[in-house]
Structure 1
């Protein structure tokens, strides 16, 4: 791990953000590759993995994004936390708007959300998971951008920890796209293709986030909180409800706790 951190410390942070987000994309592809070996996935296992995803995202939002955003804000008391409040609200509002406007399909809910569209359910399902990946890629990019800007509270170790955590929780997301597509009658190859495609937005969002922070350093606390707000919205609106659809919801809860502990540990140990 020290070798990885040392390597990322020596390259351009924007390039580091790209590499880190490509890693998270590849982990999504690894999860999607399960479609070549299984036609269906045990529902309890998938619920536990979705719970794990939610735990990682919540812990990352707190330790990797909100706490650094507050620490690097000027002032005291309410003045110090105000940028984080505003950024958090903007991030949640942005995902709320996308959720209402962009048509997408949830397999577990068996319903289409957003504006009416003639698109097929396969396309809408990929869009649903893609919504999850926008704030994840943005969060990775913003942290690497903070390192580029020379922010004392930002570290390569913390950015690497976040990328590892996002990668871990992307694994079940790849399964959550490809396996339902296979169950709907799509070929293994196409199911895998669409499963990994859902995370292709992460490298783009990461580079955009890193560049934006590099050019506009004063927005950094807002950007970190923005990513946190977007991620928390996804967890509450999508991940937890989908993980709790099954009657045996205990596994999803245990998975959430496990994911939270893993991400918290990664951030504290590496960051």
Structure 2
């Protein structure tokens, strides 16, 4: 069994009281390393996960029920089997066997190394580790009563592959002046069709998804010394006032107020230490 890494995202953030749907083609799986307490959901069934756990699934909804910014890391990989089609595996750190725990520790260590200094050898190491994980899972059958493995009913509805292209295009080009018309032109579609089908699949409209991506990036930038004006242009807004208005509607405070709050919080933490 050979897995191939399609993409690695070392720092992903989920804003408080929000969610994200991750949907992959049948031969792609997502391996999520949670660094916060979250809830994963599939077919309306919810399962809590804690910081440090790994989850492997083909499609999944991640919910951040907390008041804090949630952080997680993702590796999307491709396999040659449908072993994991429409299922989810939660690796419970305290309950899995020694071999699985060893692999999880290796996974976390390699991800840490990749985060500090992205190199191809780390990617190859992750691919080998994911191979080991899949081999560990292979003996399981659908009748397994293992409480850590949750089997769900297949989702038979097919998704227009062009929607995935639009989803990826928004994530990769959020800093550009994207409009619904230009997204529709990208896939040679009618804007109304794109908006309706995208909303049904991802439970959010294309333009609101664009806004959520920009707002998530704004939180990252606001924890740096980058000027507010530069942050606004870096995430696709034409003016500081436009960015500030949208940020306040989204988070209930201006970028300046959020930054001041972060500074005070960091100062308090340092003072306590």
Larger radius of gyration: 2
What TM-score does the superposition give when structure 1 sets the normalisation length?
0.24
Q: Which has the higher contact order (CA 8 A, sep 6+)?
A: 1
Task: Please identify which structure carries the higher helix content.
Answer: 1
Task: Please identify which structure carries the higher strand content.
Answer: 2
What TM-score does the superposition give when structure 2 sets the normalisation length?
0.24
